[in-house]
Structure 1
């Protein structure tokens, strides 16, 4: 039965769209109400840190209570946390410390909520009877498409309704996500297990350690996690600082910047959709290397060389399309290597580690530009990207990516 899978995808699309709206609305709301860039940065930090910490700490709870229950509960809680911001603002009761608390609560709910939805994938794949790459490819397509549309919708909502009212739309999206997920996956609902009822703190800590021991012991899984964390750091530097500075210094301006983001995201969504259909037939290891060769260093190099805009856009299209193959392949490898009993803990740890360096990407980009200038900063990030993503070519263990131990995992 595929209704749970398609319902999960629809719920994720709603949630991601709302999250992208808030990524635009929250900083603009803070700037409108305080006029302080410093406070805007504090709000971003207040959301990011609890999100990462809650991803790590929520893993055992996901395994105890079940990912479906955690995902729905976090979405419902997000309705209250996000919706309270515009409501309290309209009532004249929103002080900045209270805003920090609400944003931190929203981040703390988003962390385990996203991790729980992620942990549902093996069960959804088994229920739908589709290849793992099909599910991870569709998920990546939905995420990238919803991110692109959500960013555009966020800009339109803030411009037409104001930042506060845009946050109400974000709150509504979480409520709709919870309803769709609850309806579509009700056949997967399970009663509380004995492990879920065990509130022994020692048992919880041991479960957390068990997840880390497994991740640390699987060299391929740990390598993928570290690699993605480092590429996320470089991608954040590229998107948040290097590209905007390039747009200003070259005179291409905001229109060119928006065009590049749009074509990269759109091509990435197309690539993920193609991967959903074909990735199960492709050699994962070779596809990984080729995809990163295309989507990694070239986009940094063409900007470092001050190439014409047409060349930069062409490279962005190719890079976006290639990047669409990565999440379906890496996601399939990750889920197939994790035993069913540890999915919540290990997948929470991996996603938390992948996100951990994101807040420092803008800082890295800014420091590099200040020290060596934009061209050398672009080149340095491109070289680092190439090194990080191509090191697996020197390690024969990464060839284990081509193994598809589905029967072994099901038995586990």
Structure 2
């Protein structure tokens, strides 16, 4: 995960810069970003049944190898004079389409890694979150340095090498029995098969469900679990608000306050560093705490205050202090979300349900910047930031009074039970 995510973050700096320098067009730069992220979200949503059927291990190394090939083709074709803009878009589509299943497959293997390591899910998901946040901090810095020293094409080559390394690591270093295809559970009230000693008829192999049947089973399960569905809807709203915050509100604040790009970098790095600290602490102690309380307190710190401080026109020191607290609170959220998802979703359905949940939760991200931009143009920064902060508070606080959220704490014992069961299976 660390290798693949770091390569992706390096590419997130190198690819847009390469397009901007090569074409001089901000429109084409944005078009390339869209052509990468749209297939990523769409294919990830549809890849769940494939991950369950084929196995996350195979999907992970195959997808990373495909991403490495497409990423390496960009500098190779450019050096050969064969990289037209349509060809670049086609390669970017391939990179995004392969990244979606690859990221999903690695996420699906997290609970199995927790079982094998005999650690609580909160710790495993907390460490996974730390890796992602570190990659988001180290990757852009490394990408910027590479661009400054040797140009963007080298950054793209490093991205391809990272994908290739991720494929090799998963193929060669994971235990051979890890990441196997999910077995379909027997149908309810099924009768045992007739013994061959009592019948001359050959036993028929159970018919495997088709792709769309598997996909429908994932949606039915997600929609039928009140806690999971409420969690996905809530995170979907906060992702939309956060997207508008980072894409529009923070840059507008930086311009109007006179802090400029330096201010954007300061608040972002402050929040990121404290988020890493929060994730590390969550990995160490979150499994000992009441999930529901930690979850909603984390959202209370991470959400509304950062909107309100921008609306207030506070000085830079106060803004940095609020962003530090916000980042720290955010570090506790994803470990709990991951633990709840992995505990409540049956292992044979983990790929398809997780894929649908991630895609639904992220579906508002492309709209966040559009909505925030239109609102700020019409009403200004302060009213929009205030309204968004209030919406964030209502979404993440008052909804916690609904009864389905109580089940968040009831699943805590499942980690210990599953770990004991896994240990018993290995000893047998």
TM-score, scaled to structure 2: 0.89
Which residue is 1:170 aligned to? 159
Q: 1:162 Cα shift? A: 1.5
Q: Is the 8 A contact 2:36 2:96 kept in 1?
A: yes
Give the Cα–Cα distance (whole angstroms) in 2 for the partners of residues 229 and 29 of structure 1. 32
| Unaligned segments of structure 2, at least 5 residues | 185-204, 423-428
Task: Say yes or no: does 1:218 pair with 2:225.
Answer: yes
Give the Cα–Cα distance (whole angstroms) in 2 for the partners of residues 155 and 119 of structure 1. 31
Moved more, 184-193 or 398-407: 184-193
Larger Rg: 2
What is the 5 A alignment of 1:116-155?
116-155=105-144
Which residue is 2:370 aligned to? 363
Deviation per CA, 1:257-290, whole angstroms, max 9, x where unpaired?
1111111001000100000000001101011111
Task: Say yes or no: does 1:383 pair with 2:372.
Answer: no
Q: 1:231 Cα shift? A: 1.1
Which residue is 1:290 aligned to? 297
Which residue is 1:333 aligned to? 340
* Higher-helix-fraction structure: 1
Equivalent pairs counted in the alignment come to 398
Q: 1:206 Cα shift? A: 0.1
| Unaligned segments of structure 1, at least 5 residues | 1-11
Which residue is 2:235 aligned to? 228
Task: Say yes or no: does 1:343 pair with 2:350.
Answer: yes
Q: Is the 8 A contact 2:56 2:179 kept in 1?
A: no
Moved more, 16-25 or 298-307: 16-25
Q: 1:19 Cα shift? A: 0.9
Aligned to 1:94, which of 79, 83, 89? 83
Give the Cα–Cα distance (whole angstroms) in 2 for the partners of residues 291 and 212 of structure 1. 28
RMSD: 2.0
Give the Cα–Cα distance (whole angstroms) in 2 for the partners of residues 191 and 143 of structure 1. 24
Give the Cα–Cα distance (whole angstroms) in 2 for the partners of residues 364 and 194 of structure 1. 43
Q: Is the 8 A contact 1:339 1:409 kept in 2?
A: no
Which residue is 1:267 aligned to? 274
Deviation per CA, 1:147-177, whole angstroms, max 9, x where unpaired?
1111111111122222222111111111111
3-state SS of paired residue (1:362)? helix
What is the 5 A alignment of 1:297-308?
297-308=304-315
Q: Is the 8 A contact 1:52 1:352 kept in 2?
A: yes
Give the Cα–Cα distance (whole angstroms) in 2 for the partners of residues 28 and 223 of structure 1. 39
Give the Cα–Cα distance (whole angstroms) in 2 for the partners of residues 371 and 269 of structure 1. 36
Q: 1:407 Cα shift? A: 6.3
